[in-house]
Chain A
Amino acid sequence: MQRRDFLKLAGALSIAGCAGSAAPSKARVVVIGGGFGGATAAKYIRLWDPSIDVVLVERENGFTSCPMSNLVLSGFSGMEQIRHGYEGLRRHGVQVVRDEAIGIDPAKKTVRLGRGGDLSYERLVVSPGIDFSFGDVQGYEVAMHAGRVLHAWKAGEQTLLLRRQLEQMRDGGVCVISIPLAPYRCGPGPYERASLVAAYFKQAKPRAKLLVLDANPDITSKAGLFRAAWKDLYGGIIEYQPNARAVGVDAATMAVKLEVEDVKGDVLNVVPPHHAGDIARKAGLVTTNNRWCDVDWRTMESKVVPGIHVLGDATLSAPAMPKSGSMANNHAKIAAAAIVATLNGRAPAPVQILNTCYSFVSPHEAIRVSSVHAWDDKDATLKAVAGSGGISAARSSIEASYARSWARNIWADSLA
């Protein structure tokens, strides 16, 4: 580390610190990642104990929401609707540092930043989301860099690129959506995407087809509700193929390679399998299948590296727990409660959390799944509370208005 860089960083942090609380700092918590998990953790630690300094390290200059991004992709909403800044977190006294965490030293309790310098911490929150296992799909990276295949499974640049490809596709063309084996980010997300792309085709390219290649044996979430919507609204547009795992892509012939055949398309939206964000791997937090991070669900603390709390999609999910924005936001509250308790000399207590996920099946109608998760002493994990939770009775415009309201509230709860 260059001393000059360190001083620059230290200076920036202390200036940012002055804008926050006047009380002397109790401890510093560093948060890596400003998505639903990291942003919520940063905010709630400040909310529950303003004498704790919180530094959030995020490489982007704003948050782009995956929830609601399928509406942007299909042309029913705009990018500005899903983009949010970090001013709200700064108002809570969170010091937002735009940089990339490139290493963690759990013994020294420091985080190394890409632009130089180390940040020391008392407790660390790692909420890195997912990165893609490109190697699992042969030819993927080359084809992606050539713009021939896209995932658009992190909202942002690829959302707009895929939107453009759908717009430019000829009427009568074929779009292929390929879904990896579960667990992946946002279980119902690919089926929502299929529904909304089909809604766009129905309106703008009535002869176009949508081929859904699913590595899973069936629709993984809200299956009956999606099937009903596809049958009622998109007959003749969507073709669904289960047990169809993509093992490669061929940019030259515009084909998705399955285990037994090649499937050609005009637009290839292939979502590769993923794993906990790369920084989690580098820090030795990955415990399971070389992909996910196991945690103590009472505190979100890593099972292998003490002092580090892992949140969101990067975790090895508890039973019946989806990888969703609602869950990441709730994981953050478990971690915030545990960190605030620990730094105040109290024992952390388990926190009961809940999930609610809406999916649009058309621009005007949505469906939902909910669950409540409580600590189970015997099995030492969070478990869905028996008799609770469920799905929408039917798709409806009321659920669509609740979906929009959910989005506004979770964005505000995480970021404002």
Chain B
Amino acid sequence: MRAFLFVAAALAVTPVAAQDVQGRNLAAACAICHGTEGRAVGSDLVPLAGMPRDYLIRQLQDFKSGKRPATVMHQIAKGYSDPQIDALAAWFAAQRR
């Protein structure tokens, strides 16, 4: 038990993985409309937190290609590379709703 607590404490102070930091930093920009950590206030905008990763990738790619029409997301998605879209989707998918 003591060993378990020790491990838990060690985990709690372990610096977040570099990949997580990259996803976290990229995703932070989206919060101005989609809420802190993807938990939006109100019902107009899609809350991104906890959305399936593959679904998010597909939507962002469809915005980027113009396949999915939008008022704004088609213009924003064009600012992100495929690896950036993957990182964003993975990060939002891992957040609690």
Contacts and interface: CB of A to CB of B under 8 A. Distances in A.
A354 B29 contact: yes
B44 A372 contact: no
B72 A370 contact: yes
B25 A337 contact: yes
Nearest to B84: A352
A156 B84 CA distance: 40
Contacts of B77: 388
Interface string B37-63: 000111011000000000000000000
A354 B76 contact: yes
A49 to B, nearest CB: 9
Nearest to B36: A413
Q: Which of B35, B36, B42, B79 has the most CB of A within 10 A?
A: B79
A409 interface: yes
Contacts of A393: 71
B11 interface: no
A396 B70 CA distance: 13
Interface in A225-262: none
B80 A329 contact: no
A193 to B, nearest CB: 22
A408 B24 contact: no
Contacts of B94: none
B79 A48 contact: no
B75 A388 contact: yes
Interface residues of A, number: 44
A388 B78 contact: yes
A408 B41 contact: yes
B75 A390 contact: yes
A368 B25 contact: no
A406 B42 CA distance: 10
Nearest to B75: A390
Contacts of A47: 36
Interface residues of B, number: 29
Q: Which of A333, A390, A401 has the most CB of B within 10 A?
A: A333
Contacts of A389: 75-76, 78-79
B25 A409 contact: no
A330 B32 contact: yes
Contacts of A374: 79
Given A352-B84, A405-B42, A410 B78 contact: no
Given A337-B25, A346-B15, A352-B84, A409 B33 contact: yes
Contact of B28 (A333, A390, A404): A333
A337 B75 CA distance: 25
A344 B79 contact: no
B8 interface: no
- 3 closest residue pairs by CB, A with B: A372-B79, A388-B79, A405-B44
20 contacts: A47-B36, A326-B32, A346-B15, A349-B21, A351-B29, A352-B79, A354-B32, A356-B32, A368-B71, A370-B75, A372-B76, A372-B80, A388-B75, A388-B77, A390-B75, A402-B33, A405-B33, A409-B31, A409-B32, A409-B41
Given A330-B29, A368-B71, A392-B72, 10 more contacts: A44-B28, A333-B25, A337-B28, A352-B26, A372-B78, A389-B75, A396-B71, A412-B35, A412-B41, A413-B31
